[in-house]
């Protein structure tokens, strides 16, 4: 699976930036065609409600993927949409409609929001735990609406009265070819993994080390089993940012040049954002951050999982401010694969074989050329090793991910509230 590339220089407009008049669709269509030609599972789009140094400016995801559905045939399409700022009925209808229009190729990356409240009336955001509780009810209602049609075309009424939502159904359209969209989740905090274990079929996570990835993998699979689900039906998909050169030396040189050209005061501000707003102005770039300056992960009300990654790098690994800025600037906390095509392929295969990943969300670095570097030089190596497909196995996203078809007799995911109601990874079930 792939997330669109980054690592642009400061002030440089990315080809897909909405400030490029007339270039937005052409850029994303070209990217979709490139990864579809390489037989990736999914084109995955992160999202933010405001301009962001990590995400850049981007079109609204459902609108974008509606357009891309018309010019692609096999690639899965997974928009990110927040449960914090949407209503279940409208979203269920939009995504099910898109699943029909694409022939069963759609997923939903269900996330909660740690920012954006000023765009929706300035009501304070709920606490971290409450956002996930609301999100779980939201997903359960959306799933119930998707399942309000049986495979034989009959419908069932929905009368949901919960803690956060009151929703009637059914939806005004039947089930899609794959039953319903594939459910993804992004996040690695304790609340996030509990949230994902209830419903997610793919989890986008930030992991810096193989040991950390293996620990997360075991924890998520165990929580999924404890929730009464088959852990084989939830795919662990760490994000990985790549910089590829003809040799390791060339790749490292490209990586250093990107960092040196891109470092600005905004780079330090972005790092402070990942560290829960901790003021680093009293520290030099080569200083380490004292542990006393960094609050416990559980006390952070923003992006706990990403804060946890950077806190671990600062406290346990002893990275300096400069080194932490490099991590933020190069991958926003996700893992890195820098080297020759063979070395990048080795890194992906190792994590897969040693149970640190079922697949990957690949975020090619070095600008737009990173996509071609990965698809033209790394993918053939993975195919030659027999760990990556040479053609699509199915005409639906579920089929290509190796997930079971969603049938109407399957129940919606449970939730705790009182209520009436990927450039991809090596491996057949989790290809790019």
**DSSP assignment string, 311-322:** HHHHHTS--BHH
- Direct distance between the N- and C-terminal alpha carbons of the chain, in angstroms, rounded to an integer: 4
User: Which pLDDT score, from 0 to 100, does residue 47 have?
Assistant: 80
CA distances from 125 to 120, 186, 359 (A): 10, 19, 33
Cβ contact 3:361 at 8 Å: yes
Q: pLDDT band at 329, cuts 50/70/90?
A: confident
Cβ contact 101:177 at 8 Å: no
Pick from 55, 362, 110: nearest CA to 238: 362
- In the beta sheet, which residues pair with residue 239? 361
DSSP code of 378? I
429: its two tokens: 């079930």
Q: What are phi and psi of 53, to 5 degrees?
A: -65, -25
Condensed to tens digits (0 to 9), the pLDDT of residues 263-317 reads: 777 788 888 888 888 888 888 888 899 888 888 877 776 677 778 878 888 888 8
Condensed to tens digits (0 to 9), the pLDDT of residues 212-251 reads: 899 999 999 999 999 999 999 999 999 999 999 999 999 9
DSSP code of 390? S
Q: How far apart are CA 277 and CA 279, in angstroms?
A: 6
Nearest-Å Rg of the Cα atoms of the chain is: 21
């Amino acid at each position: 699976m792939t997330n669109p590339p980054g690592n642009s220089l400061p002030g440089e407009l990315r080809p897909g930036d909405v400030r490029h008049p007339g270039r937005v669709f052409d850029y994303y269509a070209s990217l979709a065609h490139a990864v579809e030609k390489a037989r990736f599972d999914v084109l995955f789009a992160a999202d933010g409600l405001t301009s962001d140094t990590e995400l850049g400016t981007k079109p609204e995801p459902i609108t974008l993927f509606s357009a891309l559905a018309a010019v692609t045939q096999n690639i899965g399409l997974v928009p990110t949409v927040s449960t914090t700022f949407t209503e279940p009925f409208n979203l269920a209808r939009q995504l099910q409609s898109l699943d029909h229009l694409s022939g069963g190729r759609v997923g939903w990356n269900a996330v909660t929001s740690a920012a954006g409240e000023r765009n929706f009336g300035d009501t304070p955001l709920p606490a971290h735990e409450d956002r996930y509780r609301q999100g779980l009810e939201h997903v359960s209602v959306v799933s119930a609406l998707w399942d309000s049609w049986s495979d034989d075309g009959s419908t069932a009424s929905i009368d949901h009265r919960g803690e956060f939502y009151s929703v009637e159904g059914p939806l005004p359209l039947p089930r899609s070819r794959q039953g319903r969209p594939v459910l993804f989740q992004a996040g690695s905090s304790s609340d996030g993994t509990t949230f994902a274990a209830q419903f997610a079929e793919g989890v986008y996570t930030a992991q810096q080390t193989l040991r950390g990835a293996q620990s997360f993998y075991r924890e998520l699979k165990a929580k999924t089993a404890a929730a009464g689900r088959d852990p084989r039906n939830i795919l662990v998909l760490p994000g990985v940012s790549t910089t590829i050169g003809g040799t390791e030396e060339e790749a490292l040189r490209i990586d250093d040049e990107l960092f040196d050209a891109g470092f600005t005061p905004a780079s330090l501000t972005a790092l402070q954002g990942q560290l829960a707003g901790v003021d680093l102005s009293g520290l030099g770039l080569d200083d380490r951050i004292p542990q006393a300056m960094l609050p416990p992960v559980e006390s952070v009300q923003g992006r706990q999982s990403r804060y946890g990654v950077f806190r671990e790098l600062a406290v346990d690994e002893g990275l300096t401010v400069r080194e932490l800025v490099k991590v933020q600037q190069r991958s926003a906390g996700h893992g890195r694969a820098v080297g020759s095509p063979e070395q990048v392929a080795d890194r992906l295969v190792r994590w897969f074989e040693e149970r640190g990943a079922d697949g990957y969300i690949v975020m090619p670095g070095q600008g737009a050329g990173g996509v071609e570097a990965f698809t033209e030089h790394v993918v053939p190596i993975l195919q030659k090793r027999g760990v990556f497909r040479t053609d699509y196995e199915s005409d639906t996203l579920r089929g290509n991910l190796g997930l079971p078809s969603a049938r109407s007799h399957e129940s919606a995911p449970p939730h705790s509230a009182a209520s009436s109601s990927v450039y991809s990874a090596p491996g057949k079930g989790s290809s790019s």
